[in-house]
Structure 1
């Protein structure tokens, strides 16, 4: 019996009580969704629910009275061994071993679909992440967003959402001019401009521009020649780096198109017509304080140029009004220096007449590398910053992605490079991947010994380690659901570590393949099915993180 099946059984018991007149729901009141959770103390049963406390006022009865009424009906459900009423009205439910063990078969039969649902079906979520300026390689902050963003997209898709992964190509502004001047200076053998970019990658891009166009320095506009070709080369490198990191995008959106296509001008006219834009001190201001921002924002500066927020507002409008995949929700994943954007973007959405709740902003904190107990601050290629390739070269894609996704985005990370290259239980990604590899090895040994799952008896899964492993497996769908609801894919990594712990413990206490001349029994077959269920969930969870599930290590 899965937690979902048990929740449905409780909902049925509740509906039956209302239909029979044993409980009377107050007019206008609605029944809550029933949830079951693992009790902290397993002596209290396999599952617990507080639904009696949730509905007591709605039905005008004491919570314990409601709980006792539901307990009698739930106790009659096939697979439920007993139901206890505890405290003010909690229901503690114990399943019989056979019903609990059926979860292993459910998982194996579902395969890669286990843990998925259609909670977000029909929703299109535009998820914009990384969006590094095409003026240099992706630094560690962008690398973190690449790992977290792609994992979040996978989690949201597991909940049924249509996710559009989007990269915002910032090709409108002064940073592109500085990049072009830096390339031109390097090609001429001159020092980099004071406000320009350094690092070996500038030399590499400049040489590639000259190789593609030997006459670039003699062209009518050398800076433009280096700008156009240099940005293309740099962005091509960024795309390749991300692809090698298992991150690809559905849309590469050019900021400049907002201006060239008239979308910024169209947005300005709309704001003027609804009187949410006013003229003051030679500039046009958005009445953003009317919509929760801490101050009004300049949209068109006194020199006639658009401020950043002008493009931001037009960009949001573009996302929600596209003919293909218009967004129901727009998630922006921004760096630690963008805290002001949370209220700003929501206010901008409200000012143009849209629901500010369609805008979600996630702010990511800093990432630091540590080796031999000391910070790593320099890159061989980029000079003053550490980049994606540096991290991958040091620990590999799997360890990099797992570690960057393992922590809540609002916390700083210190990544210990020495730890991530160790094959030990102290290394979280090794610990989880090794659990999967171990399940595969157990399955191979079982096959060699003639063990299959043609005949199983779930009631034989009755040891403490069986129960702990089944308990861990049962919590996977909820871990996925919460990771999607709270936009926190790190919950998947932490879940996998708890599952790996339960599996390693089970492995030490439960033989699957018979020893010597021992005959193959239903116990061996049933344990093999439980082993395979663990393999399925470990693989599913690692896939949500974009991390390989190795069969051998």
Structure 2
């Protein structure tokens, strides 16, 4: 019996009690029943506080409500016992058959085990990474690549149509400095103030010159200064952005939409958005500038949208961009932004409200810093980028799987330290190795079973799964749909990683204490076959979870 099935069973028991006048409630008073693992497993397989939630409405105290409900639960097939604890908690034990049947169900559900429908019919736009095309993806952007792609996978697993989007910042002063930095390298001039350095600048500049020669262009250095800069801007940005795409693709991250900021200004989208907001009164004029009434929507101050010199402020593009996302069908817009963007939460929600949408149409997640450590010392410099550590540096040090897992296994709003030596090691202290090795072990058990002629379809008797390690493992496997649902609800991909580590730990204990294959002259029995179902169910859960993190599930290690 899965947690969802048990939840539905308890709710049905309450509704039956209402019909029999045991509970003085309306059916509409009964919520979805939440079941959880007790802190101490000896208290039972599951616990619920539903009696404490409903007792007051029913005109009784929680313990009396619980005692009445327990009598009904004890009569239900699959529930071995139900007891009242404390002020009204209910602890429930499942029959061995009911718990064991879960293994068969997981294998039969396969890749769909844990899938939900909470976002079915919704289009969710997830914008992440969006690094400026002025250099390689740094470690902060790499964290967003891992987190953003994992969140997108989770949302899809719960029925959403997800649009992965990269906002291409190709408009503004940083692009001017990038072009000037490329030109300076070729001409031998000093780099501009606040320009860009590192080997990659030399590489891109060389590629621009090579492209000019191969494409039959005139020597860009013979052009007037402004045309030189424009040439290096156009071709340098294109080359840099292609490198960024290639780096992310190698990291297992691809986007459905690459949206160019410059297009908002050249298409007139910014002007149209501003005129719409002026017409609705969401903008007002003061001191020669136009301001968004963002304090009306929870911001700490109103924001300048059009400066007194007539030029648009950066938020003008944000307004037009949000409107464009909604026009393209997004029901929910999720932005993953860096640690220095806290102020954007209120202003982006204000943008939604200004256009007449619910502020909850926008969700903003703020990511914190990543610190790399090697040999006990911080790693701060890149071989190629010079001033920052890049996605290529991390992948070269530990590989894609270890990098993605390490970046996704902590809450995005928490700064993290990543020990490169640990992640490169093949030890149980390395969390990604620990989980992947558990999956490889399930595959190894299945191969050994096949050599003994043990086949799942030849016998299944869940009542034989009586070892305590089996009860613990099955209980944890049964939690996967709930963990996924919570990860989706709270947009917290790290819940999946931490859960997989619990699965691996429980599986290793079970593996050490039980046998799927016979020993010596022992004959193959239904116990071996039934345990093979448990083994394969564990492998399925590990695969499903690793897939949600974009991490491989190897069959041999």
Q: TM-score, normalised by structure 2?
A: 0.97
Once residues 381 and 115 of structure 1 are traced to their aligned partners in structure 2, the CA distance between those partners, rounded to angstroms, is: 42
Which runs of structure 2 are paired with 1:45-84 in the superposition (5 Å)?
A: 45-84=44-83
Deviation string 1:217-241 (CA, Å, 9 cap, x unpaired) is 2245111111111111111100010
Which runs of structure 2 are paired with 1:214-233 in the superposition (5 Å)?
A: 214=213, 215-219=219-223, 221-233=227-239
Cα contact 2:473–2:503 (8 A) shared by 1: yes
Counterpart position of 1:472: 476
Counterpart position of 2:303: 297
Deviation at 1:267, TM superposition (A): 1.4
> Considering only aligned residues, what root-mean-square deviation do their CA atoms show, in Å?
1.2
Counterpart position of 1:181: 180
How many residue pairs get aligned? The number is: 549
Counterpart position of 1:121: 120
Q: Which runs of 4+ in 1 moved over 4 A?
A: none
Deviation string 1:371-429 (CA, Å, 9 cap, x unpaired) is 11001111011001100000000000000000000111111111111111111111111
Which runs of structure 2 are paired with 1:23-62 in the superposition (5 Å)?
A: 23-25=23-25, 30-62=29-61
Gaps of 5+ in 2: 214-218
Once residues 128 and 101 of structure 2 are traced to their aligned partners in structure 1, the CA distance between those partners, rounded to angstroms, is: 40
Corresponding position: 1:490 with 2:494:
yes
Counterpart position of 1:422: 425
Cα contact 1:26–1:58 (8 A) shared by 2: no
Corresponding position: 1:89 with 2:95:
no
Corresponding position: 1:515 with 2:519:
yes
Once residues 309 and 181 of structure 2 are traced to their aligned partners in structure 1, the CA distance between those partners, rounded to angstroms, is: 26
Counterpart position of 1:398: 401
- Select 1:432's aligned residue among 401, 414, 435: 435
Q: Which SS does the other structure have where 2:65 is aligned?
A: helix
Counterpart position of 2:216: none
Counterpart position of 1:449: 452
Q: Which SS does the other structure have where 1:58 is aligned?
A: coil
Once residues 229 and 118 of structure 1 are traced to their aligned partners in structure 2, the CA distance between those partners, rounded to angstroms, is: 45
Cα contact 1:103–1:470 (8 A) shared by 2: yes
Cα contact 1:209–1:216 (8 A) shared by 2: no
- Select 1:458's aligned residue among 462, 470, 495: 462
Counterpart position of 1:12: 12
Which runs of structure 2 are paired with 1:323-402 in the superposition (5 Å)?
A: 326-402=329-405
Deviates more, 1:63-72 or 1:40-49: 63-72
Corresponding position: 1:538 with 2:537:
no
Deviation at 1:26, TM superposition (A): 5.3
Deviation at 1:191, TM superposition (A): 2.4
Q: Which SS does the other structure have where 2:449 is aligned?
A: helix
Deviation at 1:492, TM superposition (A): 0.5
Cα contact 1:143–1:388 (8 A) shared by 2: yes
Counterpart position of 1:270: 276
Cα contact 1:169–1:253 (8 A) shared by 2: yes
Once residues 233 and 23 of structure 1 are traced to their aligned partners in structure 2, the CA distance between those partners, rounded to angstroms, is: 70
Cα contact 2:11–2:30 (8 A) shared by 1: no
Once residues 21 and 379 of structure 2 are traced to their aligned partners in structure 1, the CA distance between those partners, rounded to angstroms, is: 69
Deviation string 1:445-502 (CA, Å, 9 cap, x unpaired) is 1110111112011011111111111111011111111111111100101001111100
Cα contact 1:456–1:526 (8 A) shared by 2: yes
Q: Which SS does the other structure have where 1:57 is aligned?
A: coil
Counterpart position of 2:22: 22
Q: Which SS does the other structure have where 1:299 is aligned?
A: strand
Q: Which SS does the other structure have where 1:213 is aligned?
A: helix
Counterpart position of 1:280: 286
Once residues 527 and 210 of structure 1 are traced to their aligned partners in structure 2, the CA distance between those partners, rounded to angstroms, is: 65
Q: TM-score, normalised by structure 1?
A: 0.98
Corresponding position: 1:253 with 2:259:
yes
Gaps of 5+ in 1: none
Deviates more, 1:185-194 or 1:150-159: 185-194
Cα contact 2:298–2:350 (8 A) shared by 1: yes
Once residues 80 and 30 of structure 1 are traced to their aligned partners in structure 2, the CA distance between those partners, rounded to angstroms, is: 24
Cα contact 2:18–2:26 (8 A) shared by 1: no
Q: Which SS does the other structure have where 2:93 is aligned?
A: strand
Deviates more, 1:10-19 or 1:498-507: 10-19
Cα contact 1:3–1:36 (8 A) shared by 2: yes
Once residues 327 and 169 of structure 2 are traced to their aligned partners in structure 1, the CA distance between those partners, rounded to angstroms, is: 21
Once residues 60 and 321 of structure 1 are traced to their aligned partners in structure 2, the CA distance between those partners, rounded to angstroms, is: 50
Deviation at 1:60, TM superposition (A): 1.9
Counterpart position of 1:240: 246
Deviation at 1:57, TM superposition (A): 2.1
Deviation at 1:209, TM superposition (A): 0.8
Deviation at 1:274, TM superposition (A): 1.7
